[in-house]
Chains A and B, each alone.
Chain A
Amino acid sequence: GQQVMQIPQYQHVQEGEDFTTYCNSSTTLSNIQWYKQRPGGHPVFLIQLVKSGEVKKQKRLTFQFGEAKKNSSLHITATQTTDVGTYFCAGKPSNTGKLIFGQGTTLQVKP
């Protein structure tokens, strides 16, 4: 079946270091979304990417959508303790109306 894979599953970084999580789909996506879930909280929508090669920034967060629209990445520059949480990507395959969530990457930041 159609899958959205996310790596790594866990990442521990020192505060100030950069962090990247990668999302890969087995099929072409019409869009990809990113969500953040703080510990004890619920997923919160961050951003949606639609165009091939698209890059969007939110302060220290940079989101990219691959040229083939099958992969995406989220990069955080100079992590802070407030970045702690699980980051999910969710992709919509081009041939369905269904949004498929990746397994998430859990980020821990050591002060």
Chain B
Amino acid sequence: ETGVTQTPRHLVMGMTNKKSLKCEQHLGHNAMYWYKQSAKKPLELMFVYSLEERVENNSVPSRFSPECPNSSHLFLHLHTLQPEDSALYLCASSQEQSYEQYFGPGTRLTVT
């Protein structure tokens, strides 16, 4: 248990659905991250939040929309996804950017 939780752990959704992934960290960290990990690609950084402000958006399609209401919670809102968006979505947190990151267990997303 790393102190970072993610829900749901598994999600199957159709291309027209809207769903949200949730991440919560209990470590008092100031930075939170969303990563995408697919079978043939390394960890792809999607978004970075520092002190609840988005500091990085790595050319992620608009069908992915992050939200950070406070320093402990991070959401990833999904809509009109494509089958190629099927992947493991990992949330992580760190004390500050560039410090060691603590990852949650991930949400395994399948888009049908």
Selected from B2, B45, B98, B102, the residue in CB contact (under 8 A) with A92 is B98
Contact assessment for A43 and B43 in the assembled complex, using a CB-CB cutoff below 8 Å: yes
**Could you say which interface size class chain A belongs to?**
20 to 34
User: Per DSSP, are chain B's interface residues mostly helix, strand or loop, or mixed?
Assistant: loop
- Does A28 touch B at the CB level, under 8 Å? no
Contact assessment for A102 and B42 in the assembled complex, using a CB-CB cutoff below 8 Å: yes
Of the listed stretches A51-59, A73-81, A93-101, name the one at the interface; the rest are far from the partner chain: A93-101
Of the listed stretches B14-22, B68-76, B77-85, B103-111, name the one at the interface; the rest are far from the partner chain: B103-111
Q: Which residue of B lies closest to A96 (CB)?
A: B98
CA of A101 to CA of B35, assembled, Å: 11
What are the residues of chain A within 8 A of B48 when measuring CB–CB?
A: 98
5 tightest Cβ-Cβ pairs between the two chains A and B: A103-B42, A42-B103, A92-B98, A45-B100, A101-B43
User: Which A residues fall within an 8 A CB radius of B?
Assistant: 30-31, 33, 35, 41-45, 48, 88, 90, 92, 97-99, 101-104
User: Which B residues fall within an 8 A CB radius of A?
Assistant: 2, 42-43, 45, 48, 56, 90, 92, 97-98, 100-106
Q: List 20 A-B contacts (CB under 8 A).
A: A30-B98, A35-B101, A42-B90, A42-B103, A42-B104, A42-B106, A43-B92, A43-B103, A44-B2, A44-B103, A45-B100, A88-B42, A88-B43, A90-B101, A97-B97, A97-B98, A98-B48, A98-B56, A99-B98, A101-B43
